[in-house]
Amino acid sequence: MRCRICGAEAAVRLRYANTALCGEHFVRFFERRVERTVRKFGMIESGERVAVAVSGGKDSLAMLYALSGLAERMGFEIVGITIDLGIEGGRYSERCVEIAVENYERLGIPYKVVRLSEYGFTVDELARARLRPRVCSLCGSVKRHLLNKIAREMGASRLATGHNLDDFLQVVLQHYLFGRIEELAKFYPAIPPAPGMVSRIKPLVETPERDSMAYVLLKGIEYHGGTCPHARGATSLDLKRALNALERDHPGVKFSMFNVYIKSIYPLLSREYMSKIEDVGACEICGEPTSARICLFCRIREAMKKRLKKSN
Ligand code: AMP
Ligand code: FES
Ligand code: ZN
Ligand code: ZN
């Protein structure tokens, strides 16, 4: 196959667009698409400081590189945040943090590494405590809490995460499956700021997972390729497999699902549920935003304190 633009040998075939591109033109196409997403959803204005959440995986690193080029052109600033979750299997967290730091330094981006253990527990301990059947949802809440807090403390007005098109659709399907309609009504690629909450953006929301992989490989970016040892058997992985099976037989179906959600479903839901979305106050313990009296992070922290004291 040949590159549609220059006729050189193609490096990436894009079945959803019925085309193929060489390495150089794919990289350019990828970065332009991220820029288009950022502008389309009004994700970043010039002069802003954007905190980029980097896990060390391919998506968040692809986002970091694409945004660092865009930052110069659009006139915004980038800082990095990485959380060491304390997952030991195969030195998982340690390698994730090392790789994130190597890339921040390569790009000259100021960053902060935060260790969950500073708060008295790790994700491995959280998994062993079995507060819930699966640790992933609690881990997700812990990440959201810390990323928001640190982004705000670093003076950022936006928090960018590397969720890609597949991640986004998987969450839409998951909310649908479990009937979490109010969650769906709040689910959008760019969430405006709220008291105590930094605006959350997903610059890769129109980027299929496979393209992030091609981008990091073509650019020679070192990334952490492992999956979290706690993720095995998660529904999220099955939903992604189902989406990929659909895409294989119907190229472009992921983009059409996304567009239907953005243009038709989200506007209806958000209008219907606007008044039902709970008011956000401040946690009585840590002061972070929450709709409960005590935020979930503090409740997890308290439960872990008790468990760890008992086992010592
Ligand atoms: P995940 O929830 O693991 O699918 O990750 C989704 C996004 O959250 C990533 O693309 C990152 O932007 C962010 N993220 C996940 N884990 C971390 C971490 N340990 N430190 C910083 N950001 C993270
Ligand atoms: Fe959180 Fe795996 S990264 S449970
Ligand atoms: Zn080309
Ligand atoms: Zn709290």
Determine the atom of ligand 2 nearest the C-alpha atom of 140: 1
pLDDT at 25 over 90: yes
Give the Cα separation of 201 and 41 in Å (integer). Answer: 9
Q: Which pLDDT value is given to residue 113? A: 98
- The beta strands (E) that lie in the chain are given as 12-14, 19-21, 49-53, 77-84, 111-115, 158-160, 190-191, 199-201, 281-282, 289-290
Q: Which pLDDT value is given to residue 118? A: 96
The protein residue with its alpha carbon nearest to ligand 2, atom 1, reads: 139
Q: Is 301 in the pocket of ligand 2 (CB under 6 A)?
A: no
Residue of 234, 157, 140 lying closest to 197 (CA atoms): 157
Give the Cα separation of 117 and 295 in Å (integer). Answer: 19
Give me the mean pLDDT over the 277-285 stretch.
Answer: 86
Coil/strand/helix, residue 281: strand
Give the Cα separation of 211 and 227 in Å (integer). Answer: 18
Pick 67 or 280 by higher pLDDT.
67
Q: Which pLDDT value is given to residue 210? A: 97
Q: Which pLDDT value is given to residue 277? A: 67
Q: Which ligand is nearest to the CA of 5?
A: 3
Q: What is the chain's length?
A: 312
Ligand 1: which residues within 6 Å by Cβ? Answer: 53-55, 59-60, 81-83, 85, 140, 143, 161-163, 167
The protein residue with its alpha carbon nearest to ligand 2, atom 2, reads: 228
Whether residue 128 contacts residue 95, with contact meaning beta carbons closer than 8 Å, is answered with no
Provide the residue type at 147 as one letter: L
pLDDT tens for residues 108-137?
999 999 999 999 999 999 999 988 888 998
Q: Which ligand is nearest to the CA of 20?
A: 3
Q: Is 135 in the pocket of ligand 2 (CB under 6 A)?
A: yes
Give me the mean pLDDT over the 144-158 stretch.
Answer: 97
pLDDT tens for residues 164-203?
999 999 999 999 999 999 999 999 999 999 889 999 999 9
Instruction: Determine the straight-line distance between the first and last CA of the chain, rounded to whole angstroms.
Output: 62
**Phi and psi of 191, rounded to 5°?**
-105, 125
Alpha carbon of 92 to ligand 2 centroid (Å): 10
Looking at every residue in the chain, the average pLDDT score rounds to: 95
Put simply, whether the predicted model's pTM sits higher than 0.85 gets the answer yes
pLDDT tens for residues 202-229?
999 999 999 999 999 999 999 999 889 9
The protein residue with its alpha carbon nearest to ligand 1, atom 14, reads: 55
Task: Residue 240: count other Cβ atoms within 10 Å of its Cβ.
Answer: 17
Q: Is 116 in the pocket of ligand 2 (CB under 6 A)?
A: no
Task: Residue 143: count other Cβ atoms within 10 Å of its Cβ.
Answer: 18
Whether residue 219 contacts residue 107, with contact meaning beta carbons closer than 8 Å, is answered with no
Q: Which ligand is nearest to the CA of 6?
A: 3
The protein residue with its alpha carbon nearest to ligand 1, atom 4, reads: 163
